[in-house]
Structure 1
Amino acid sequence: MLKDAQGLVVTTDSPKAIAAINRFIDQALCYGKDAETAILQAIEADPTCALAHAYAAAYYLTQENRKAWQQAQPYLQTAQQNLAKITDREQLYVQAISAWANQEIDVAIAIHEKITNKYPHDLISVQQGQYHYFYMGDKEKLLQIAQKVVSSNPGNHYLYGMVAFGLEQCHQLKAAEKIARQAIALNRYDPWAHHAIAHVMETQGRVDEGIVWMESFADTWENCNSMLYTHNWWHIALYYLQLKNYQKVLKLYDTHIWERANKQSPKDQVGAISLLLRLELHGVNVGDRWQSISPYLYSRIEEHALPFQDLHYVYALAKAGHYDWVNQMLASMQYHTLSINPFVRQRWIEVAIPAARGMVAHAKGDFHTTVTELKPVLSRLHEIGGSNAQRVLFRQVYQDAVLAAQKQSWVYGITA
């Protein structure tokens, strides 16, 4: 047995495997583009290393699409086959990833909490716990799972970035900015800390400062995976949107967001969709960009990895005029609720599906239906996940529909 860079025991006798695991941990924590390569190298160095296989499975599960879920399965099976030979921490981690693969998110969360209580140096487990809380809409727990291990990891800028984001989501903006700046002072190349401050400045209306801040670090994002590269540029685009510099926003979309996206990545797709929708809410003609995205969304129709993602997909399909696909997806969402964990089923039935109907109605210009469907779920939208900055879009759609419905009623009343 050897120890990784976090000082945690890994069941392997291969120094090459440990070195690759260390690279994976670093790449995962910094949202680097080489995480997949690193963990596959670890498995190549030691094909019996259960933790490496579990890390590989987790990596694919974070992609939140069907193909990646299928890629995760053989790695997870190998990890499970070696369960009896590994340490308590590794066993817990394999169990957490197995629960995730089975869509038992409540079980996965409970295990990550147990890992971080017993092994507070395991920042991969902290990060994945935050990930689940993020998509469950539990901002307090998202913060707490990171905060509780700070004393065990003094000076760790990755952890400071995690805490900063949790603080921001809990509206503790001053504290969030302070610890994020501490992270960046330790390592300028910490994109998650940059991201936390982007949220703070946007929330506080510090638009010009936010542009200067984020653009000053943009050179450091070249080694990020496409998700965080495009997402940080998405935040810059939101600043320019607030300034009503629409041509700049379209240029950023074309050069740094959709152009640099992994076109098959759900998270990259969601970022592009949300920016186009925001532009249209400002009255901007986005041309044929909906049609450019829609072919990549066909495989999402019956996937239902996350309700937050589905609301974006179904809207984009409707905007592109693929109403047959839209109807297929709405029916599939309903069918999906018959087979999922009760822990997440209510969120789909009571929040996600009505919201999806409301989003489709807005895309079709049926604003009265949009209001009818969205109004009852506005106070529960946090349950579908996403950040404060991402979810505000749905409220903006609702507000736009209210105004448009009033206008339609007025015109109808005058002309009747």
Structure 2
Amino acid sequence: MGSSFRDCQAWKDEALPLTTSSNEACKLYDAILTQYVKWRNDDTLGGIEGCMSAIQTADPNFVMGHVISTGLELVATTSSPRLDGRLAGAVKRTVELASSQDISPREKLHVKAVELFSHGNFPKACEVWEDILLDHPTDMLALKFAHDSYFYMGAQVPMRDSVARVLPHWKPHMPLFSYLKGQYSFGLLETRFYDQALKVALEGLTLTPDDAWSVHSVAHVYEMKAEVDKGLKFMESREKDWQRSDMLASHNYWHWALYFIEGEQYEAALEIYDSQVFKRCKASGAMLDIVDACSMLYRLEMEGVCVKDRWRELLQVTRPHTDDHVTLFNDLHFLMVSLGANETAASRRLLEGLQDLAKEPGDNHQHQLAQRLGVPMCNAMTEYQQGNYSQAVALLYPLRYNMVDIGGSDAQRDLFNQLLVHAAMKSDNKKHQKLARCLLVERDAVRPNSPLTLRLMQKALALHD
């Protein structure tokens, strides 16, 4: 393991000591953390998976090695410890190792947070990570795990403030310092401070031009302000930089495609879907890649583009996740695919599974939300698919200000705002048709000059004149 990664002494010098005598294990921990923060598997290191195997060999009893490896698998949301015995066993092993060793209070808290997250208790896990950051503001793993978990809860203000609180403690010479810019910028834009978010993201890119998360923040700002031309130019000019971050490349291509959909350039959007988004999601199996593919097809279909065969292909990727129910956000995206592919059995199974879990959610934050949010949203999508537009509006409209709780970004959740508009426009209820026009006026007020909004306004007028 190269000299650029931190050994036992280096971690001690940064007041973040790791309980292991293996320098190799410490360096591998740093290597995994670095790849996680950069959204990039470094092939020269064997990628994150290669480093996870190597860290086990270097010190099989290294608690923080287990914390980062198991934690990353959990935070990826690609499998549920409720169903996956191996993953549940990994959590159990981490907890047992921690209780049998004399580790630091910080490391004990890390173990506790991972265990809470594995039970679906995202809010409590975040409280524990924040507890760590209070005493150890430069603990990047605690910061990143909290950041991702806030994102899954749609906790926009905590996501922003979590980074703001630690920023003064970081100094430019510290490893991974520049990547805080992208993280902070993302929190700023999700709380609608677009100008400040853009400034901070560009500072990040000045320090590290290939920081894909800062690129991603800039893409969001242009998306939320409907500055299509700026967005297209920016993504194209930086493609060589952000494309290298394999864990985020597909998502950045998704952002690029959103500009094309906004501008009614459907063929260009489909080209990105076929050559990048679907291809990558099939190869990686990563959840972010999968939900992007789902969302893209759903948006194109709402715009009247025929994507029938693509739904069937994508179903092969989403179907194995039908019973996962790790997050409501993921469930809603899987449902888009089974509905789009007219796979009634898969749709029913997903909905019934979610309803069952909602009855006795325990500490699982997502299952607690299922009854009042997840299930009615699933039902609304099903009604829309069946042509029961007024019923879809009746289900979705009362939830519009609570939908943030399903997690994801404003840009990702905008799909559900669009769905409500389409349902209201197509409804034969005159009140709903009026509502559609009101929603579009409101949309235009916060996102002026949006070609998509203008298109929908013209459509609404044509339908109901």
TM-score of the two chains, using structure 2 as the length reference? 0.84
Aligned counterpart for 1:78 among listed residues 79, 93, 101: 93
What's the counterpart of residue 201 of structure 2?
Answer: 180
Deviates more, 1:103-112 or 1:260-269: 260-269
Matched with 1:94 is: 111
Please report how far the alpha carbon of residue 77 of structure 1 lies from its aligned counterpart in structure 2 after TM superposition.
Answer: 2.9
Letter aligned with residue 117 of structure 2: W
Change (3 A) 1:6 1:302: farther
| Equivalent residue runs for 1:40-51 within 5 Å | 40-51=53-64
Residue among 4, 9, 12 paired with 2:11: 4
Q: Quick one: which of 115, 119, 134 aligns to 2:136?
A: 119
Code of the aligned partner of 1:90: E
Change (3 A) 1:220 1:40: farther
* Match of residue 157 from structure 1: 178
**Equivalent of 2:318 in 293, 297, 303:** 297
1:6-405 paired onto structure 2 within 5 Å: 7=14, 8-33=16-41, 34-66=47-79, 70-83=85-98, 84-155=101-172, 156-226=177-247, 228-262=248-282, 264-341=285-362, 343-405=365-427
Distance 1:324 1:82, change over 3 A: closer
Query: Which shifted more, 128-137 or 111-120?
Result: 128-137
For the structure 1 residues 215 and 4, does the alpha-carbon distance in structure 2 shift closer, same or farther, using more than 3 Å as the test? farther
* Partner SS for 1:379: coil
Q: C-alpha displacement at 1:268, in angstroms?
A: 1.7
> Residue type matched to 1:200 in 2?
V
Task: Provide the rounded CA distance (Å) in 2 between the counterparts of 1:406 and 1:269.
Answer: 34
Change (3 A) 1:375 1:251: same
| Separation of aligned partners in 2, 1:5 and 1:388 | 40
- Return the alpha-carbon distance in structure 1 between the equivalents of residues 200 and 170 of structure 2: 14
| Preserved CA contact (<8 Å) 1:57 1:73 | no
Partners of 1:297 and 1:118 lie apart in 2 by: 41
Alpha-carbon offset, residue 222 of structure 1: 4.0
Q: Could you tell me which amino acid in structure 2 is paired with residue 150 of structure 1? A: L
Secondary structure in 2 matching 1:78: helix
Report how many residues are paired: 409
CA distance in 2 between counterparts of 1:344 and 1:352 reads: 9
- 1:76-96 Cα deviation digits (max 9, x unpaired): 333222323211111111110
Q: 1:164–1:196: 8 Å Cα contact kept in structure 2? A: yes
C-alpha deviation, 1:239, in angstroms? 0.8
- With 180-189 and 57-66 compared, the bigger mean Cα shift is at 57-66
Are 1:11 and 1:49, in contact at CA under 8 Å, matched by a contact in 2? yes
Percent identity, aligned pairs only, is 26
C-alpha spacing 1:262/1:16, structure 2 compared with 1 (3 Å):
farther
Instruction: State the distance in 1 between where 2:71 and 2:295 align.
Output: 26
> CA-to-partner distance for each residue in 1:89-128, whole Å, 9 max, x for gaps?
1111111001111222222011011011110011111111
CA distance in 2, matches of 1:38, 1:221: 23
Q: Give the superposed CA RMSD.
A: 2.0
In structure 2, the CA distance between the partners of 1:394 and 1:323, relative to structure 1 (3 Å rule), is same
Shift of residue 407, structure 1, vs aligned partner:
8.4
**Counterpart amino acid of 1:26?**
T
Mapped contact 1:160–1:183 kept (Cα < 8 A): yes
Query: Match of 2:281, SS?
Result: coil
* C-alpha contact (below 8 Å) 2:354/2:367 kept by paired residues: no
- CA shift, 1:75, in A, is 3.3
The alpha-carbon deviation at position 316 of structure 1 amounts to: 1.3
C-alpha separation between the residues in 2 aligned to 1:267 and 1:338? 28
Contact 1:139 1:170 in 2 (8 A): yes
CA distance in 1, matches of 2:255, 2:85: 32
**Conserved 8 A contact 2:120-2:326:** no
* Separation in structure 1 between the aligned mates of residue 113 and residue 429 of structure 2, nearest angstrom: 51
Structure 1 residues 67 and 352 mapped into 2: Cα distance closer, same or farther (>3 Å)? closer
Aligned to 2:457: none
- 1:48–1:82 contact (8 Å) kept in structure 2: yes
Q: 1:348-388 CA distances to partner (integer Å, 9 max, x unpaired)?
A: 11011100000112222221221121111111000110100
SS for the counterpart of 2:323 is: coil
**Matched residue of 1:305: which SS?**
coil
Q: For residues 348 and 47 of structure 1, what CA distance do their matches in structure 2 show?
A: 38
Cα shift readout 1:227-269 (whole Å, capped 9, x = no counterpart):
x111000000001111111110000000110012245333222
Amino acid at match of 1:333: L
Moved more, 81-90 or 276-285: 81-90
Q: How far is the alpha carbon of 1:187 from its aligned partner? A: 0.6
